[in-house]
């Protein structure tokens, strides 16, 4: 027999004398069924209640296929006796009631304002979401939805329950067809929303406090909106305000100036990056030329740290300046090894690749006159460099 669920008609009672119906198991864990319960089992996108039964903590509440409600306890239930005191965690429950009732109001707003149906909803521990059949949205549309939704909250309308059978359900214009037949519960916010629903709701819309949409994203060709109600919305407003004001304070700005400041800073950074790239190219070219003038023959250089792109550029510039060959490497930040020979020279550097890849524990490749390897780590880059300096000069000079 299904368990008797008292929260259907009373979602405000949290302390009650629980009569144990059965000690059993659910999902491989020991659990207890009560003769009648105020604990809400996870269902319909709403999380399960927490609380206490006797001395044990209720860590989860789940219903089985037969409609029996199982309370999972920690520690596992022993002999609890026939009747114990139980208590539902009210802070958590009321939070769920705010999110859930808010979801009804918001879904009806999407329907009424945009003709958009709610396809699914999920009320999580932190995030509550609605998937809605909409192609796109913007902040002005969100504002409109929030205004009408919160108007319903502030009018503090009563929320009514009706138990109906298959015949009685026909009297109601439900927002969505019911998922079940037989005796069902209808939850009505007068002149706003009528839904068949088994969740927990506030008595009046005013208790939802406030409804705020915080972001949306595209999923499966629909939009998924994340929203917050009541205390969650206040907490979210708190950290957003603090973050915004703190970010502005650190730059000695007003919060209203922050976005313009970020735009300017990003443009400046892009300009500086471009300028830095140009100057680096000139410095590396001068450095390469100086080395080639100073040293007859090939050039070998190992840095403890130099960006990969600069190592590569150095090698190219050394060859441009007339060196017969070059070996350049850096241990970090990205361990790299570059080998090159003059285009007019001879010898195929790819012949050295197997030995280089093994010593550098890396990956790479290239052409007959230029090879680049991303080494496994700094030490391997250095070891491969030591070997390569000799091997390249030999390969180039010994080539027929
Ligand atoms: Zn509901």
DSSP for 40-84 reads PPSBTTBPPP-EEETTEEEEEEEE-TTS-EEEEEESPP----SEE
What percent of the chain is predicted at pLDDT more than 90? 80
Q: What is the mean pLDDT of the chain?
A: 93
**Residue 14 pLDDT more than 80?**
yes
Q: How far, in Å, from the CA of 186 to the mean position of ligand 1? A: 9
- 128-132 and 118-123 strand pairing: antiparallel
How far is residue 310's CA from residue 374's CA, in Å, rounded to a whole number?
14
**Residue 398 pLDDT more than 80?**
no
Both tokens of 373, joined, read: 């390897």
What percent of the chain is predicted at pLDDT more than 70? 99
**Residue 2 pLDDT more than 90?**
no
**Dihedrals φ, ψ of 288, to 5°?**
-65, -45
Q: How far, in Å, from the CA of 201 to the mean position of ligand 1? A: 6
Q: How far, in Å, from the CA of 202 to the mean position of ligand 1? A: 10
Q: How far, in Å, from the CA of 68 to the mean position of ligand 1? A: 20
Q: How far, in Å, from the CA of 94 to the mean position of ligand 1? A: 13
pLDDT of residue 347: 86
**Residue 127 pLDDT more than 90?**
no
Q: How far, in Å, from the CA of 57 to the mean position of ligand 1? A: 26
Q: How far, in Å, from the CA of 85 to the mean position of ligand 1? A: 28
How far is residue 172's CA from residue 193's CA, in Å, rounded to a whole number?
10
Q: Walk me through the domains of the chain, giving residue ranges and CATH numbers.
A: 4-88 (2.40.30.130), 94-248 (3.30.980.10), 287-398 (3.10.310.40)
Residues 345-371 have a mean pLDDT of 93
Residues 90-103 have a mean pLDDT of 96
Q: How far, in Å, from the CA of 371 to the mean position of ligand 1? A: 66
Q: How far, in Å, from the CA of 99 to the mean position of ligand 1? A: 10
**Residue 296 pLDDT more than 90?**
no
pLDDT of residue 346: 86
**Residue 314 pLDDT more than 90?**
yes
pLDDT of residue 231: 95
**Residue 258 pLDDT more than 70?**
yes
**Residue 52 pLDDT more than 80?**
yes
**Residue 397 pLDDT more than 80?**
no
Show the DSSP H helices in the chain as ranges: 90-114, 139-154, 230-250, 258-294, 308-320, 353-360, 378-398
pLDDT of residue 173: 87
How far is residue 20's CA from residue 3's CA, in Å, rounded to a whole number?
11
Q: How far, in Å, from the CA of 184 to the mean position of ligand 1? A: 12
Q: Are 121 and 128 in contact (CB under 8 A)?
A: yes
Tens of pLDDT along 166-222? 888 888 989 888 888 888 999 999 999 999 999 999 999 999 999 999 999 999 999
Sheet architecture: strand order including 193-196: 160-164, 184-189, 193-196
DSSP 148-198: HHHHHHHTT-B-EEEEE-TTGGGGS--SS--S--SSEEEEEETTTEEEE--
Q: How far, in Å, from the CA of 165 to the mean position of ligand 1? A: 18
Tens of pLDDT along 57-84? 999 999 999 999 999 998 887 776 778 9
pLDDT band for 332, please (50, 70, 90 cuts).
Answer: very high
The overall longest dimension of the chain from CA atoms, in Å, is 100
pLDDT of residue 400: 64
Residue 264 to residues 206, 267, 336, Cα–Cα distance (Å): 43, 5, 35
DSSP state at residue 2: P
Q: How far, in Å, from the CA of 71 to the mean position of ligand 1? A: 22
Using DSSP, state whether 25 is helix, strand or coil: strand
Q: How far, in Å, from the CA of 145 to the mean position of ligand 1? A: 19
């Amino acid at each position: 027999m299904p368990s008797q669920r008292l929260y259907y008609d009373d979602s405000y009672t949290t302390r009650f004398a629980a009569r144990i119906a059965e000690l059993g198991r659910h999902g491989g864990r020991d659990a207890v069924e009560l003769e009648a319960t105020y604990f809400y089992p996870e269902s319909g996108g709403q999380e399960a209640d927490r609380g206490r039964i006797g001395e044990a903590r209720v860590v989860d509440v789940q219903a089985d296929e037969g409609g029996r409600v199982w309370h999972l306890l920690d520690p596992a239930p022993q002999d609890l006796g026939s009747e114990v005191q139980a208590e539902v965690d009210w802070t958590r429950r009321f939070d769920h009631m705010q999110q859930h009732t808010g979801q009804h109001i918001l879904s009806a707003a999407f329907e009424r304002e945009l003709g958009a149906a709610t396809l699914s909803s999920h009320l999580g521990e932190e995030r509550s979401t609605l998937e809605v059949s909409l192609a796109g949205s913007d902040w002005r549309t969100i504002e409109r939805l929030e205004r009408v939704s919160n108007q319903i909250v502030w009018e503090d309308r009563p929320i009514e329950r009706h138990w109906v059978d298959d015949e009685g359900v026909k009297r109601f214009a439900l927002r969505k067809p019911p998922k079940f037949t037989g005796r069902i519960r209808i939850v009505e916010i007068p002149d706003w929303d009528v839904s068949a629903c088994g969740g927990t709701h506030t008595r009046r819309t005013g208790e939802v406090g406030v409804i705020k949409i915080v972001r949306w994203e595209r999923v499966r060709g629909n939009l998924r909106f994340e929203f917050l109600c009541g205390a969650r919305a206040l907490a979210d407003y708190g950290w957003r305000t603090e973050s915004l004001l703190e970010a502005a304070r650190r730059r000695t700005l007003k919060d209203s100036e922050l976005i313009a400041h970020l735009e300017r800073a990003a443009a400046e950074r892009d300009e500086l990056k471009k300028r830095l790239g140009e100057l680096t190219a000139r410095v590396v070219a001068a450095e390469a030329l100086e080395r080639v003038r100073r040293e007859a023959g090939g050039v070998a250089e190992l840095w403890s740290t130099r960006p990969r792109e600069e190592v590569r550029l150095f090698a190219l510039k050394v060859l441009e300046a007339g060196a017969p060959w070059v070996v350049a490497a850096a241990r970090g930040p990205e361990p790299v090894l570059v080998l090159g020979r003059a285009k007019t020279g001879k010898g195929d550097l790819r012949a050295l690749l197997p030995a280089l890849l093994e010593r550098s524990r890396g990956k790479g490749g290239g052409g007959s006159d230029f090879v680049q390897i991303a080494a496994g780590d700094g030490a391997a880059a250095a070891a491969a460099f030591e070997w390569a300096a000799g091997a390249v000069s030999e390969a180039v000079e010994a080539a027929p």
